Structure 1
Protein backbone atom coordinates (compact mmCIF):
# COMPACT_ATOMS: atom_id res chain seq x y z
CA UNK A 1 0.00 0.00 0.00
CA UNK A 2 2.83 2.39 0.98
CA UNK A 3 4.82 1.51 -2.15
CA UNK A 4 1.74 2.16 -4.31
CA UNK A 5 1.31 5.53 -2.60
CA UNK A 6 4.95 6.50 -3.16
CA UNK A 7 4.75 5.39 -6.78
CA UNK A 8 1.60 7.43 -7.25
CA UNK A 9 3.24 10.53 -5.76
CA UNK A 10 6.27 9.98 -7.97
CA UNK A 11 4.06 9.79 -11.06
CA UNK A 12 2.24 12.97 -10.05
CA UNK A 13 5.54 14.80 -9.53
CA UNK A 14 6.85 13.60 -12.89
CA UNK A 15 3.65 14.74 -14.61
CA UNK A 16 3.88 18.15 -12.89
CA UNK A 17 7.47 18.63 -14.06
CA UNK A 18 6.50 17.76 -17.63
CA UNK A 19 3.69 20.32 -17.48
CA UNK A 20 6.11 22.93 -16.12
CA UNK A 21 8.65 22.19 -18.87
CA UNK A 22 6.02 22.49 -21.60
CA UNK A 23 4.89 25.89 -20.31
CA UNK A 24 8.48 27.12 -19.94
CA UNK A 25 9.35 26.16 -23.54
CA UNK A 26 6.31 28.06 -24.85
CA UNK A 27 7.01 31.26 -22.90
CA UNK A 28 10.73 31.01 -23.76
CA UNK A 29 10.04 31.18 -27.51
CA UNK A 30 7.44 33.93 -27.08
CA UNK A 31 9.95 36.09 -25.20
CA UNK A 32 12.79 35.47 -27.67
CA UNK A 33 10.56 36.49 -30.56
CA UNK A 34 9.35 39.62 -28.78
CA UNK A 35 12.90 40.62 -27.81
CA UNK A 36 13.92 40.73 -31.50
CA UNK A 37 10.80 42.74 -32.43
CA UNK A 38 10.95 45.19 -29.52
CA UNK A 39 14.69 45.80 -29.57
CA UNK A 40 14.65 46.67 -33.27
CA UNK A 41 11.59 48.89 -32.84
CA UNK A 42 13.07 50.57 -29.74
CA UNK A 43 16.28 51.52 -31.58
CA UNK A 44 14.38 52.81 -34.63
CA UNK A 45 11.93 54.79 -32.48
CA UNK A 46 14.64 56.16 -30.11
CA UNK A 47 12.56 54.85 -27.18
CA UNK A 48 14.20 54.13 -23.81
CA UNK A 49 11.09 52.42 -22.44
CA UNK A 50 10.69 50.17 -25.50
CA UNK A 51 14.39 49.23 -25.50
CA UNK A 52 14.19 48.57 -21.77
CA UNK A 53 11.16 46.35 -22.24
CA UNK A 54 12.98 44.40 -24.98
CA UNK A 55 15.92 43.77 -22.63
CA UNK A 56 13.42 42.52 -20.09
CA UNK A 57 12.14 40.07 -22.72
CA UNK A 58 15.68 38.81 -23.35
CA UNK A 59 16.27 38.50 -19.61
CA UNK A 60 13.06 36.50 -19.25
CA UNK A 61 14.10 34.18 -22.08
CA UNK A 62 17.36 33.50 -20.20
CA UNK A 63 15.36 33.04 -17.00
CA UNK A 64 13.06 30.46 -18.61
CA UNK A 65 16.04 28.63 -20.13
CA UNK A 66 17.75 28.41 -16.74
CA UNK A 67 14.48 27.27 -15.14
CA UNK A 68 14.25 24.45 -17.68
CA UNK A 69 17.80 23.44 -16.80
CA UNK A 70 16.99 22.94 -13.10
CA UNK A 71 13.43 21.67 -13.41
CA UNK A 72 14.49 18.11 -12.49
CA UNK A 73 17.11 19.17 -9.96
CA UNK A 74 16.91 19.74 -6.19
CA UNK A 75 15.86 22.84 -4.28
CA UNK A 76 19.46 24.04 -3.84
CA UNK A 77 20.07 24.02 -7.61
CA UNK A 78 16.76 25.82 -8.14
CA UNK A 79 17.76 28.43 -5.56
CA UNK A 80 21.06 28.94 -7.39
CA UNK A 81 19.20 29.48 -10.65
CA UNK A 82 16.81 31.92 -8.96
CA UNK A 83 19.88 33.84 -7.74
CA UNK A 84 21.10 33.95 -11.36
CA UNK A 85 17.70 35.32 -12.44
CA UNK A 86 17.91 38.05 -9.80
CA UNK A 87 21.35 39.01 -11.05
CA UNK A 88 20.06 39.27 -14.63
CA UNK A 89 17.21 41.55 -13.46
CA UNK A 90 19.68 43.80 -11.65
CA UNK A 91 22.04 44.05 -14.65
CA UNK A 92 19.15 45.04 -16.91
CA UNK A 93 18.04 47.66 -14.39
CA UNK A 94 21.48 49.24 -14.70
CA UNK A 95 21.38 48.96 -18.52
CA UNK A 96 17.99 50.72 -18.75
CA UNK A 97 19.16 53.46 -16.37
CA UNK A 98 22.30 54.02 -18.50
CA UNK A 99 20.19 54.19 -21.67
CA UNK A 100 17.90 56.77 -20.05
CA UNK A 101 20.86 58.98 -19.10
CA UNK A 102 22.19 58.74 -22.66
CA UNK A 103 18.79 59.62 -24.13
CA UNK A 104 18.55 62.64 -21.81
CA UNK A 105 21.66 64.17 -23.39
CA UNK A 106 20.62 63.26 -26.94
CA UNK A 107 17.15 64.77 -26.28
CA UNK A 108 15.49 63.06 -29.26
CA UNK A 109 11.74 62.55 -28.78
CA UNK A 110 10.74 58.93 -29.50
CA UNK A 111 8.26 57.90 -32.20
CA UNK A 112 4.94 57.30 -30.34
CA UNK A 113 3.17 55.32 -33.10
CA UNK A 114 5.86 52.64 -33.15
CA UNK A 115 5.96 52.62 -29.34
CA UNK A 116 2.22 52.08 -28.99
CA UNK A 117 1.89 49.48 -31.78
CA UNK A 118 4.76 47.31 -30.59
CA UNK A 119 3.73 47.91 -26.97
CA UNK A 120 0.26 46.45 -27.60
CA UNK A 121 1.74 43.37 -29.32
CA UNK A 122 4.15 42.87 -26.40
CA UNK A 123 1.34 43.26 -23.85
CA UNK A 124 -0.76 40.58 -25.56
CA UNK A 125 2.25 38.24 -25.71
CA UNK A 126 3.04 38.74 -22.04
CA UNK A 127 -0.57 38.30 -20.94
CA UNK A 128 -0.46 34.90 -22.64
CA UNK A 129 2.76 34.06 -20.80
CA UNK A 130 1.33 35.17 -17.44
CA UNK A 131 -1.81 33.07 -17.91
CA UNK A 132 0.29 30.01 -18.76
CA UNK A 133 2.54 30.48 -15.72
CA UNK A 134 -0.14 31.43 -13.15
CA UNK A 135 -1.27 27.85 -12.43
CA UNK A 136 2.34 26.90 -11.58
CA UNK A 137 3.37 30.00 -9.60
CA UNK A 138 3.09 28.23 -6.21
CA UNK A 139 4.75 24.96 -7.26
CA UNK A 140 8.24 25.94 -6.02
CA UNK A 141 10.79 28.78 -5.88
CA UNK A 142 11.80 28.10 -9.47
CA UNK A 143 8.29 28.62 -10.86
CA UNK A 144 7.36 31.45 -8.48
CA UNK A 145 10.41 33.45 -9.63
CA UNK A 146 9.54 33.03 -13.33
CA UNK A 147 5.95 34.05 -12.60
CA UNK A 148 7.29 37.20 -10.91
CA UNK A 149 9.34 37.98 -14.03
CA UNK A 150 6.23 37.57 -16.18
CA UNK A 151 4.18 39.83 -13.91
CA UNK A 152 6.87 42.51 -14.21
CA UNK A 153 6.50 42.28 -17.98
CA UNK A 154 2.85 43.32 -17.76
CA UNK A 155 3.85 46.35 -15.68
CA UNK A 156 6.56 47.21 -18.21
CA UNK A 157 4.24 46.86 -21.22
CA UNK A 158 1.55 49.02 -19.65
CA UNK A 159 4.17 51.63 -18.78
CA UNK A 160 5.40 51.72 -22.40
CA UNK A 161 1.85 52.36 -23.64
CA UNK A 162 1.38 55.16 -21.08
CA UNK A 163 4.70 56.68 -22.18
CA UNK A 164 3.67 56.51 -25.85
CA UNK A 165 0.44 58.38 -25.09
CA UNK A 166 2.23 61.07 -23.08
CA UNK A 167 4.92 61.51 -25.75
CA UNK A 168 2.19 61.96 -28.37
CA UNK A 169 0.45 64.60 -26.24
CA UNK A 170 3.52 66.46 -24.94
CA UNK A 171 5.89 66.00 -27.92
CA UNK A 172 8.64 65.54 -25.36
CA UNK A 173 11.27 62.93 -24.48
CA UNK A 174 10.55 63.28 -20.75
CA UNK A 175 7.62 60.78 -20.46
CA UNK A 176 9.69 58.09 -22.16
CA UNK A 177 12.65 58.81 -19.86
CA UNK A 178 10.40 58.74 -16.78
CA UNK A 179 8.94 55.35 -17.74
CA UNK A 180 12.41 54.02 -18.56
CA UNK A 181 13.64 55.02 -15.11
CA UNK A 182 10.50 53.52 -13.53
CA UNK A 183 11.23 50.22 -15.28
CA UNK A 184 14.80 50.32 -13.99
CA UNK A 185 13.42 50.75 -10.45
CA UNK A 186 10.91 47.87 -10.85
CA UNK A 187 13.64 45.58 -12.22
CA UNK A 188 15.97 46.47 -9.34
CA UNK A 189 13.26 45.95 -6.70
CA UNK A 190 12.26 42.55 -8.11
CA UNK A 191 15.93 41.59 -8.37
CA UNK A 192 16.39 42.36 -4.70
CA UNK A 193 13.42 40.17 -3.73
CA UNK A 194 14.55 37.20 -5.84
CA UNK A 195 18.18 37.54 -4.71
CA UNK A 196 17.26 37.64 -1.01
CA UNK A 197 14.86 34.66 -1.23
CA UNK A 198 17.30 32.53 -3.23
CA UNK A 199 20.19 33.46 -0.91
CA UNK A 200 18.20 32.28 2.12
CA UNK A 201 17.28 29.06 0.30
CA UNK A 202 20.89 28.35 -0.63
CA UNK A 203 22.09 28.88 2.93
Structure 2
Protein backbone atom coordinates (compact mmCIF):
# COMPACT_ATOMS: atom_id res chain seq x y z
CA UNK A 1 0.00 0.00 0.00
CA UNK A 2 2.74 2.49 0.91
CA UNK A 3 4.77 1.51 -2.17
CA UNK A 4 1.79 2.30 -4.40
CA UNK A 5 1.20 5.60 -2.59
CA UNK A 6 4.88 6.46 -3.01
CA UNK A 7 4.87 5.70 -6.75
CA UNK A 8 1.65 7.60 -7.43
CA UNK A 9 2.77 10.66 -5.49
CA UNK A 10 6.20 10.68 -7.13
CA UNK A 11 4.58 10.58 -10.59
CA UNK A 12 2.17 13.39 -9.71
CA UNK A 13 5.04 15.45 -8.25
CA UNK A 14 6.80 15.38 -11.63
CA UNK A 15 3.58 16.15 -13.53
CA UNK A 16 2.43 18.98 -11.28
CA UNK A 17 5.75 20.72 -10.74
CA UNK A 18 6.50 20.60 -14.46
CA UNK A 19 3.05 21.91 -15.33
CA UNK A 20 3.10 24.52 -12.55
CA UNK A 21 6.39 25.92 -13.80
CA UNK A 22 5.29 25.90 -17.45
CA UNK A 23 1.95 27.62 -16.86
CA UNK A 24 3.07 29.92 -14.03
CA UNK A 25 0.65 28.54 -11.41
CA UNK A 26 1.61 28.90 -7.77
CA UNK A 27 -1.27 26.65 -6.73
CA UNK A 28 -0.25 23.79 -9.06
CA UNK A 29 3.41 24.20 -8.11
CA UNK A 30 2.44 24.14 -4.42
CA UNK A 31 0.39 21.02 -4.89
CA UNK A 32 3.23 19.36 -6.80
CA UNK A 33 5.72 20.13 -4.06
CA UNK A 34 3.24 18.79 -1.55
CA UNK A 35 3.19 15.55 -3.60
CA UNK A 36 6.98 15.40 -3.18
CA UNK A 37 6.64 15.78 0.57
CA UNK A 38 4.04 13.00 0.57
CA UNK A 39 6.31 10.70 -1.41
CA UNK A 40 9.03 11.45 1.13
CA UNK A 41 6.69 10.67 4.02
CA UNK A 42 5.69 7.36 2.45
CA UNK A 43 9.36 6.46 1.94
CA UNK A 44 10.05 7.32 5.58
CA UNK A 45 7.02 5.28 6.68
CA UNK A 46 8.30 2.32 4.67
CA UNK A 47 11.68 2.66 6.35
CA UNK A 48 9.96 2.65 9.77
CA UNK A 49 8.13 -0.65 9.28
CA UNK A 50 9.34 -3.17 11.82
CA UNK A 51 11.41 -0.60 13.65
CA UNK A 52 11.20 0.54 17.25
CA UNK A 53 8.52 2.94 18.52
CA UNK A 54 11.25 5.54 19.02
CA UNK A 55 12.31 5.26 15.38
CA UNK A 56 8.68 5.64 14.28
CA UNK A 57 8.23 8.72 16.45
CA UNK A 58 11.42 10.19 15.02
CA UNK A 59 10.23 9.52 11.45
CA UNK A 60 6.91 11.23 12.21
CA UNK A 61 8.83 14.18 13.64
CA UNK A 62 11.01 14.33 10.53
CA UNK A 63 7.85 14.25 8.39
CA UNK A 64 6.42 17.16 10.35
CA UNK A 65 9.60 19.20 10.02
CA UNK A 66 9.75 18.54 6.25
CA UNK A 67 6.12 19.55 5.85
CA UNK A 68 6.63 22.69 7.92
CA UNK A 69 9.60 23.66 5.74
CA UNK A 70 7.55 23.06 2.62
CA UNK A 71 4.71 25.25 3.91
CA UNK A 72 7.03 28.14 4.69
CA UNK A 73 8.68 27.77 1.27
CA UNK A 74 5.28 27.83 -0.45
CA UNK A 75 4.35 31.05 1.31
CA UNK A 76 7.65 32.56 0.22
CA UNK A 77 6.90 31.60 -3.40
CA UNK A 78 3.43 33.17 -3.19
CA UNK A 79 4.95 36.45 -2.03
CA UNK A 80 7.52 36.31 -4.84
CA UNK A 81 4.90 35.62 -7.51
CA UNK A 82 2.62 38.30 -6.11
CA UNK A 83 5.34 40.79 -6.92
CA UNK A 84 6.39 39.42 -10.34
CA UNK A 85 3.74 37.06 -11.69
CA UNK A 86 1.02 36.88 -14.29
CA UNK A 87 -2.22 34.93 -14.61
CA UNK A 88 -1.64 31.18 -15.02
CA UNK A 89 -3.44 28.95 -17.52
CA UNK A 90 -6.62 28.03 -15.66
CA UNK A 91 -7.57 25.14 -17.94
CA UNK A 92 -4.17 23.54 -17.42
CA UNK A 93 -4.51 24.06 -13.68
CA UNK A 94 -7.72 22.06 -13.71
CA UNK A 95 -6.40 19.47 -16.17
CA UNK A 96 -3.42 18.53 -14.01
CA UNK A 97 -5.32 18.78 -10.72
CA UNK A 98 -8.10 16.36 -11.67
CA UNK A 99 -5.76 13.35 -12.00
CA UNK A 100 -3.93 14.52 -8.86
CA UNK A 101 -7.25 14.51 -7.02
CA UNK A 102 -7.99 11.00 -8.29
CA UNK A 103 -4.58 9.79 -7.11
CA UNK A 104 -5.04 11.32 -3.69
CA UNK A 105 -8.53 9.90 -3.23
CA UNK A 106 -7.18 6.45 -4.11
CA UNK A 107 -4.26 6.82 -1.69
CA UNK A 108 -6.52 8.22 1.04
CA UNK A 109 -8.78 5.18 0.73
CA UNK A 110 -5.75 2.88 0.85
CA UNK A 111 -4.52 4.57 4.00
CA UNK A 112 -7.92 5.01 5.68
CA UNK A 113 -7.40 2.12 8.09
CA UNK A 114 -4.04 3.64 9.11
CA UNK A 115 -5.41 6.94 10.39
CA UNK A 116 -5.64 5.48 13.89
CA UNK A 117 -2.51 3.32 13.59
CA UNK A 118 1.08 3.99 14.53
CA UNK A 119 2.29 7.59 14.56
CA UNK A 120 4.31 7.42 11.33
CA UNK A 121 1.30 5.96 9.46
CA UNK A 122 -1.05 8.56 10.94
CA UNK A 123 1.33 11.18 9.55
CA UNK A 124 1.03 9.63 6.08
CA UNK A 125 -2.77 9.71 6.32
CA UNK A 126 -2.73 13.38 7.43
CA UNK A 127 -0.51 14.29 4.48
CA UNK A 128 -2.89 12.65 2.04
CA UNK A 129 -5.97 14.22 3.60
CA UNK A 130 -4.37 17.63 3.08
CA UNK A 131 -3.73 16.79 -0.57
CA UNK A 132 -7.38 16.07 -1.31
CA UNK A 133 -8.34 19.48 0.08
CA UNK A 134 -5.54 21.14 -1.90
CA UNK A 135 -6.55 19.45 -5.16
CA UNK A 136 -10.13 20.64 -4.86
CA UNK A 137 -8.91 24.17 -4.09
CA UNK A 138 -6.59 24.18 -7.13
CA UNK A 139 -9.42 23.00 -9.40
CA UNK A 140 -11.69 25.78 -8.12
CA UNK A 141 -8.88 28.30 -8.47
CA UNK A 142 -8.29 27.22 -12.06
CA UNK A 143 -11.98 27.65 -12.80
CA UNK A 144 -11.93 31.12 -11.24
CA UNK A 145 -8.88 32.09 -13.31
CA UNK A 146 -10.58 30.83 -16.51
CA UNK A 147 -13.77 32.75 -15.78
CA UNK A 148 -12.16 36.00 -14.60
CA UNK A 149 -8.57 36.02 -15.89
CA UNK A 150 -7.49 37.25 -12.45
CA UNK A 151 -4.28 35.68 -11.15
CA UNK A 152 -5.00 36.39 -7.51
CA UNK A 153 -7.19 33.30 -7.24
CA UNK A 154 -4.08 31.22 -7.95
CA UNK A 155 -2.06 33.15 -5.38
CA UNK A 156 -4.76 32.87 -2.72
CA UNK A 157 -5.01 29.11 -3.22
CA UNK A 158 -1.21 28.79 -3.23
CA UNK A 159 -1.09 30.70 0.07
CA UNK A 160 -4.00 28.66 1.42
CA UNK A 161 -2.16 25.43 0.62
CA UNK A 162 0.93 26.85 2.30
CA UNK A 163 -0.98 27.70 5.49
CA UNK A 164 -2.82 24.38 5.43
CA UNK A 165 0.45 22.50 5.03
CA UNK A 166 1.88 24.37 8.02
CA UNK A 167 -1.21 23.47 10.06
CA UNK A 168 -0.87 19.80 9.12
CA UNK A 169 2.85 19.88 9.98
CA UNK A 170 2.08 21.26 13.41
CA UNK A 171 -0.55 18.53 13.92
CA UNK A 172 2.00 15.83 13.03
CA UNK A 173 4.62 17.36 15.33
CA UNK A 174 2.08 17.60 18.18
CA UNK A 175 1.07 13.97 17.63
CA UNK A 176 4.71 12.86 17.62
CA UNK A 177 5.41 14.82 20.83
CA UNK A 178 2.40 13.23 22.54
CA UNK A 179 3.49 9.78 21.38
CA UNK A 180 7.04 10.45 22.65
CA UNK A 181 5.67 11.56 26.03
CA UNK A 182 3.49 8.46 26.35
CA UNK A 183 6.37 6.06 25.62
CA UNK A 184 8.83 7.54 28.12
Same fold (TM over 0.5): yes
CA distance in 1, matches of 2:85, 2:14: 25
Q: What's the offset of the Cα at 1:136? A: 2.3
Tell whether the 8 Å contact from 1:24 to 1:64 is kept in structure 2 after alignment. yes
* Number of matched pairs: 181
SS at structure 2 position matched to 1:135: helix
Residue number among 82, 100, 103 corresponding to 1:122 in the alignment: 100
Larger Rg: 1
Q: Are 2:142 and 1:143 equivalent residues in the alignment?
A: no
Superposition deviation, residue 139 in structure 1: 2.1
For the aligned residue pairs, the C-alpha RMSD in angstroms reads 0.9
How far residue 43 of structure 1 moved from its aligned partner, in angstroms, is: 0.3
Partner of residue 156 from structure 1, selected from 108, 127, 134 = 134
User: Would you say the 8 A contact 1:76–1:201 is kept in 2?
Assistant: no
Alignment TM-score, normalising by the size of structure 2: 0.96
Q: What are the equivalent positions in structure 2 for 1:22-61 lying under 5 Å apart?
A: 23-61=1-39
- Give 1:113's aligned residue: 91
Gaps of 5+ in 2: none
| Structure 1 outlier segments of 4+, above 6 Å | none
Provide the rounded CA distance (Å) in 2 between the counterparts of 1:44 and 1:115. Answer: 11
Q: 2:69 aligns with which of 84, 88, 91?
A: 91
Distance between the aligned counterparts of 2:74 and 2:60, measured in 1?
Answer: 21
> If the length of structure 1 is used for normalisation, what is the TM-score?
0.87
